[in-house]
Chain A
Amino acid sequence: MSGFNADKLQKIDRRWLYVILIVSVAITLLVGKGTEIPVYPDDSSKDLYITLMNVPEDKPVFIQSDWTNSTRGESRGQMMALLRVLMSNNRKFVIYSMGDPQAPQVARDAIRMVNEERRKEGLDDFKSWEDYIELGNFPNAENSLNALGNNIRSAWGNRRRPDTTGVDRSVFESPVLANVQKVSDCGAYVVVTASSTIDFAVERISDKVNLNAMVTGVVGPTVLPYKRAGQVKGLAIGLKGVYDMEYMMKYGLNHQLEGGVIKVDYPQKPEVSLPPVPNGQTFGQGATNYLSLHIALGLMILAIILGNVGMFVGRKGGKK
Chain B
Amino acid sequence: MSSFPVLLVDQIKVLLGALCIVGLYSVLYKENKIYRFFEHMFLGLAAGYSLVALWKDTLYEQWWLPMTGRLTETGTVDAPGYWLFALLLPIGLMAYTVFSKRHNWMSRIPIGMILGLWSGQQVQIYWNKFGPQILNSIKPIVPTGTDGFFQQSAYDFVNGAVVTKPDASLILSRIYMSEVINNMIFLVTLLSALAYFLFSIDLRGKAATGFNKLGRWMLMIGFGAIFGSTVMARFALVIDRIGFVIVDTFEAFTRGPG
Contact = CB atoms under 8 A, between A and B. Distances in A.
Q: Do A and B actually bind?
A: yes
Contacts of B155: 254, 270-271
A218 B57 contact: no
Contacts of A218: 229-230, 233-234
Contacts of B128: 202-204, 206-207, 231
Given A216-B233, A267-B154, 16 more contacts: A15-B28, A25-B242, A29-B239, A73-B238, A158-B66, A217-B230, A217-B233, A218-B230, A229-B132, A239-B233, A262-B157, A271-B162, A273-B161, A273-B162, A292-B243, A293-B236
B229 A238 contact: yes
Interface of B: 28-29, 46, 49-50, 53-54, 56-58, 61-62, 65-66, 73, 117-118, 121, 125, 128-129, 132-133, 135-136, 151, 153-155, 157, 160-162, 164, 168, 225-226, 229-243, 246-247, 250
B230 to A, nearest CB: 5
Residue from the set A15, A146, A217, A256 with the largest chain B CB neighbour count within 10 Å? A217
B157 A256 contact: yes
A217 B233 CA distance: 5
B133 A225 contact: yes
Contacts of B136: 228-230
A237 interface: yes
Interface stretch (A49-57, A133-141, A309-317): A133-141
A74 B53 contact: no
Contact of B121 (A142, A202, A272): A142
Per DSSP, chain B at the interface is: helix
Given A254-B162, A292-B239, A26 B230 contact: no
B136 to A, nearest CB: 4
A220 to B, nearest CB: 5
Contacts, number: 170
A interface bracket (residues with beta carbon within 8 Å of B): 35 or more
Nearest to A217: B233
Contacts of B28: 14-15, 18
Contact of B151 (A220, A228, A268, A289): A268
Nearest to B53: A101
B239 A25 contact: yes
Contact of A137 (B57, B133, B154): B57
Nearest to B133: A229
A35 interface: no
B54 A74 contact: no
Contacts of B58: 101, 136-139
A270 B168 contact: yes
A105 B50 CA distance: 11
A37 interface: no
Given A158-B65, A260-B157, A238 B129 contact: no
A145 to B, nearest CB: 10
A203 B53 contact: no
Contacts of A256: 157, 160
Contacts of A267: 151, 153-154
A25 B62 CA distance: 45
Contact of B118 (A74, A142, A293): A142
A12 interface: no
A67 B250 CA distance: 26
Contacts of A139: 54, 58
A22 interface: yes
Nearest to B227: A221
Given A15-B28, A206-B128, A239 B232 contact: yes
B240 A72 contact: yes
A199 B61 CA distance: 26
Residue from the set B29, B233, B236, B242 with the largest chain A CB neighbour count within 10 Å? B236
B236 A73 contact: yes
Contacts of B231: 297, 300
9 contacts: A14-B28, A203-B128, A217-B229, A238-B233, A260-B160, A267-B154, A270-B154, A270-B164, A293-B232
A112 interface: no
Contacts of A74: 233, 236-237, 240
A202 B129 contact: yes
B150 to A, nearest CB: 9
A272 B135 CA distance: 26
Nearest to A70: B237
Nearest to A225: B133
A120 interface: no
Nearest to A76: B240
Contact of B125 (A204, A216, A220, A285): A204
B174 to A, nearest CB: 13
Interface in A1-58: 14-15, 18, 21-22, 25-26, 29-30, 33
A26 B240 CA distance: 10
A22 B242 contact: yes
